[in-house]
Structure 1
Amino acid sequence: MTAAAERGGPPPAGTRPRLGFIGIGLMGTAMSLRLLERGWPLTVWNRERPALDPVLAAGASEAGCPREVAERSDIVLMCVLDTPAVEACVWGEQGVAEVGAGAGAGGGARLLIDFSTIDAGATRDFAARLRARTGMGWIDAPISGGPSAARQGALTAMVGGEAAELAAAAAVLADLAGNVTHMGPVGAGQVTKVVNQAIVGSGFIAMAEALHLAEAAGIDAAALPACLGGGLADSVLLQRIYPLMQRRAFDPPLGYARQLLKDLKAVKGFAHGLGLSLPGVENAAERFGAYVGQGNAMADIVSIIRLYEQERQAGGAAAEPLPVIDAHQHFWDLGENHHPWLCDAEPIPFRYGDYGALRRNYLPADYRADTARHRIAGTVHVEAEFDPANPVAETAWLERLAAREGLPTVCVAQARLDDPEVAAVLAAQAVRPMVRGIRHKPRAAARPEEARRGAPGSMDDPAWRRGYALLSKHGLSFDLQTPWWHLDAAHDLARDFPETQIIVNHTALPADRSVEGLRAWRAALAGLARAPNVALKISGLGLPGQPWPAAANVAVIRDAITLFGADRCLFASNYPVDSLVGSFDAIMDGFLQAIADRPEAERRQLLHDNAARLYRF
């Protein structure tokens, strides 16, 4: 049965089922706003609390967990990332299934509509178990069309489930989708979505390659959709997606590259289970896998054209340089966000002296210009002293930036470990998809002779340590910025919390380059290196008032690698902060000089592989 649902007005007041929506991401936000505009009462929940703001402002009410959504709804809608996410929302702690037996008879939900794209076999299993436990029905209705179509009620929905339950869901589906097709029993919608994603994933690659060919050949690439319209090459992809690629219009994103890669892998697995080989899908998965592997997991799917641009630019190179993950860099937009040290009139004491040159926006286009000579495969954004009153806002901004610009790849977020509210901040940061770790600079003495153990706010402070102890619960690493004269405390921290990975920032700040100063720095590093859960970022080696000292820094870099080993050191630029003391080229070239005599495998570790492992790229 195929039915483009009737388009009347909203259901009459008093007859509308109460709706709940779990998963307020790109699609969930657009669908929720559409339902609210159509007059549906809506209760919402999302794992990442800040994403709820637009729908709450539009009139939705908030639930504290998926179970509460089900208790306060007649029909639960769900749109989350993948099969494990659906399982967690339904069967996890405080999940939908905890609404109990008799759903629909005593005020709880009687039907769940899953708009996610997940495994068909898992869907059938989840549906049978949920009905047995609660009496609740299940419709799988994966969708296609993107956020813009959702806002217009013009999605395509591929539906699996019982006809009677589809009838109960018809009014809701009619307000979201212009094309609703019942493909069979539960699970049939997911199987149909597999076919859909085979077409879509391969189609995105076809559009990228057509554009790549047109631009390389020098024809008017923008005119192609009009030229080919009405012919056999015409399609929605050509008329809608190709122009976005051609204009490099990647914001707002249609979807994330990691999501389409996930779907293409699912298509491959499904086909292999049927004994089928699909070379076109295999190629699309390889292409998106290569793009995501360069650090573009959160980039718009339309931006896959960048992969072809990069390959074309590298085509004439004599010898391809090793890929680099910059393990420590920063972005800021001072017109949009508040960084007190950059925005406030009064400067702070700073190890490089006057930092007035940093009081300007620094965004991915600036970084790409600074790093143009080098093969940057990804970056780790480290918190940039954002407004401490709202540290999660910096993470949310970075996710939007990454979706639009392709950088950064992952981030180390802010949380003040001695803050009484740190548990809530860590929980909010940990669920953000880009977050890999936390940085909070512990209190430090200005000079070695002033160093004392046990100071408030230091690594010995019980309150600070209580916050630190929560990192392992969330699987977060810790970026430690402290001078070398506090590395004894860092060693004790690593010993007492062996499950937490520590990554020391800026080579432990060897600012004193006297013979005695470097000897003390080496001794402190050697002591810390005995802790197996500590790694070292080689960065921050500038000295105030002078250009980046290549000769002296090469020796420092070599000492650091000797002490920690090539498997626990990683390159980082600290850009744009270190632009105060040297160009990116000078810093990168100095590091390459320091490791030039090492085997290629070790150079690859230092430049790329260690960062990819430690920050879980």
Structure 2
Amino acid sequence: MSHSSNSTYQDKMLEAWQQRMLVNSPNPNPNKEWLSQVEEAPLFPELAIVDAHHHLWDRSGFRYLLEEYADDIGFSGRNVVASVFVQCRSMYRQDGPEMMRPVGEVEFVRGIAAQARSGYYGKTKVAAAIVGGADLLLGREVASVLDAMQEAGGRLFKGVRTPVAAHPDPVIRSNPVPVSEGLMLTKAFIAGAEQLVQRGLLLDLWVYQTQLMEVARLAQALPNLRIVINHAGGPLGLGAYQFDRERHFADWRAALTALADCPNVFIKLGGFGMPIMGFELYSKSQPPTSAELARCISPYINTCIELFGYERCMFESNFPVDKGSYSYGVLWNAFCRVAEYWTAQDRDQVFHATASRLYQIDREK
């Protein structure tokens, strides 16, 4: 190869790399060497797990695709039978109408699901359910986007998540792209959510504790809409929330209590590795053991279980976002420690049955 042709090739490779999504994330990237300081054998190794919330992406400087996820599962020794992929602005289409570009993410993940079914990456049915990223603020116009996503995802496409997490303090941010407050109760959002109801699709929501009453009003306005709250309802530990944590915990619990009265609302237990939660696990000289992590998160998990019941709760990894704070194996061991004295039936509900039922995951296919 001549020097000029080699330079052209390198230029094209550089251009292709620069086209990958550049993300200014407030969440730390994982440090493999740091995480390797704590390794644990799996607790309840035969317990079936449906990871109710994870992401896949190829961002500039941070690749987390099927191989990386499968490696985390395999190294952990966990019996992860299936997983739920959730919107993360991954592999959007480069052209076409702006509102249709998120359909590319669903196409991409359906391909990953097919790749996982080969068995080459382990037995986990990765992306057995797909939650896409349709913009419900389009109102009734989102119908065409949802139809395209259903076609792209087939039976795997189960619902959408439109980013709505917002807070007036700019320090309190967990999403790469900040959004405005008060979106969920706008006429446009409600009209878009009604399109989900018509198609029997779910609405995943990542909100902060200050927005839980807003979600309750949405759930009451659309009682036939099944809403899945992400990350334990967003208890906060940054900014003013890092002080007097007992009071803020009480506020979170009170808001969550009102939300739990809505029978169409479910909740995922996880996301505790994000800086916004305030545990600062990523800043320690060593990552937490599962016993240490369980002590941190058990008050939140136990509260969610008390309010929603086992049948409306499900565990999630939130990987690779939470991988900046602990390994996959340590996280699921921590969940096992919290659930140690639950009945076997209750453990089954939160580790796999709730997610399987809600996202209509057929583990045999």
1:604 to 345, 348, 352: 348
* 1:517 maps onto 2:239 in alignment: no
What corresponds to 1:550 in structure 2?
Answer: 294
Q: Please say if residues 270 and 318 of structure 2, whose CA atoms lie closer than 8 Å, have aligned partners that are also in contact.
A: yes
3-state SS of paired residue (1:369) = helix
CA displacement 1:521-549 (0-9 Å, x = unmatched): 11111110000000000010125342454
* 1:322 maps onto 2:47 in alignment: yes
Name the amino acid aligned to 1:428: A
What corresponds to 1:564 in structure 2?
Answer: 308
What corresponds to 2:62 in structure 1?
Answer: 360
CA displacement 1:237-271 (0-9 Å, x = unmatched): xxxxxxxxxxxxxxxxxxxxxxxxxxxxxxxxxxx
Q: C-alpha distance in 1, partners of 2:181/2:348?
A: 40
Q: Cα distance, 1:509 vs. partner?
A: 1.4
What corresponds to 1:412 in structure 2?
Answer: 131
Q: C-alpha distance in 1, partners of 2:271/2:359?
A: 19
What corresponds to 1:402 in structure 2?
Answer: 113
Q: Please say if residues 488 and 524 of structure 1, whose CA atoms lie closer than 8 Å, have aligned partners that are also in contact.
A: yes
CA displacement 1:115-151 (0-9 Å, x = unmatched): xxxxxxxxxxxxxxxxxxxxxxxxxxxxxxxxxxxxx
What corresponds to 1:441 in structure 2?
Answer: 163
What corresponds to 1:530 in structure 2?
Answer: 261
Name the amino acid aligned to 1:384: C
3-state SS of paired residue (2:236) = coil
Q: Cα distance, 1:446 vs. partner?
A: 4.0
3-state SS of paired residue (2:132) = strand
Q: Which structure's relative contact order is higher, taking Cα pairs within 8 Å and 6+ residues apart?
A: 2
Q: 1:476 to 1:605 in 2, by over 3 A?
A: same
* 1:369 maps onto 2:71 in alignment: yes
1:474 to 199, 208, 227: 199
Cα-Cα RMSD: 2.3
Q: C-alpha distance in 2, partners of 1:443/1:574?
A: 16
Name the amino acid aligned to 2:68: D
* 1:424 maps onto 2:144 in alignment: yes
What corresponds to 1:308 in structure 2?
Answer: none
What corresponds to 1:393 in structure 2?
Answer: 104
What corresponds to 1:500 in structure 2?
Answer: 225
CA displacement 1:301-359 (0-9 Å, x = unmatched): xxxxxxxxxxxxxxxx9976210000001112x3xxxxxxx44xxxxxxxxxxxxxxx3
Q: 1:596 to 1:426 in 2, by over 3 A?
A: same
3-state SS of paired residue (2:311) = coil
Q: C-alpha distance in 1, partners of 2:43/2:328?
A: 22
CA displacement 1:470-512 (0-9 Å, x = unmatched): 1011110100111011111111111111111100001111132
CA displacement 1:436-459 (0-9 Å, x = unmatched): 0110022522459x9xxxx77611
Q: Please say if residues 443 and 458 of structure 1, whose CA atoms lie closer than 8 Å, have aligned partners that are also in contact.
A: no
Q: C-alpha distance in 1, partners of 2:274/2:330?
A: 14
What corresponds to 1:378 in structure 2?
Answer: 82
Q: C-alpha distance in 1, partners of 2:56/2:44?
A: 31
3-state SS of paired residue (2:149) = helix
Q: Cα distance, 1:607 vs. partner?
A: 0.2
Q: 1:495 to 1:369 in 2, by over 3 A?
A: same
3-state SS of paired residue (1:464) = helix
Q: C-alpha distance in 2, partners of 1:318/1:490?
A: 35
Q: C-alpha distance in 1, partners of 2:190/2:105?
A: 24
Q: 1:446 to 1:324 in 2, by over 3 A?
A: farther
3-state SS of paired residue (2:52) = strand
Q: Please say if residues 569 and 606 of structure 1, whose CA atoms lie closer than 8 Å, have aligned partners that are also in contact.
A: yes
Q: Please say if residues 89 and 105 of structure 2, whose CA atoms lie closer than 8 Å, have aligned partners that are also in contact.
A: no
What corresponds to 1:577 in structure 2?
Answer: 321
Structure number, greater radius of gyration: 1
Q: 1:442 to 1:319 in 2, by over 3 A?
A: closer
TM-score by length of structure 2 reads 0.70
What corresponds to 1:40 in structure 2?
Answer: none
Q: Please say if residues 542 and 582 of structure 1, whose CA atoms lie closer than 8 Å, have aligned partners that are also in contact.
A: yes
CA displacement 1:187-213 (0-9 Å, x = unmatched): xxxxxxxxxxxxxxxxxxxxxxxxxxx
Q: C-alpha distance in 1, partners of 2:350/2:43?
A: 23
CA displacement 1:256-306 (0-9 Å, x = unmatched): xxxxxxxxxxxxxxxxxxxxxxxxxxxxxxxxxxxxxxxxxxxxxxxxxxx
Q: Cα distance, 1:552 vs. partner?
A: 1.4
Q: 1:596 to 1:381 in 2, by over 3 A?
A: same
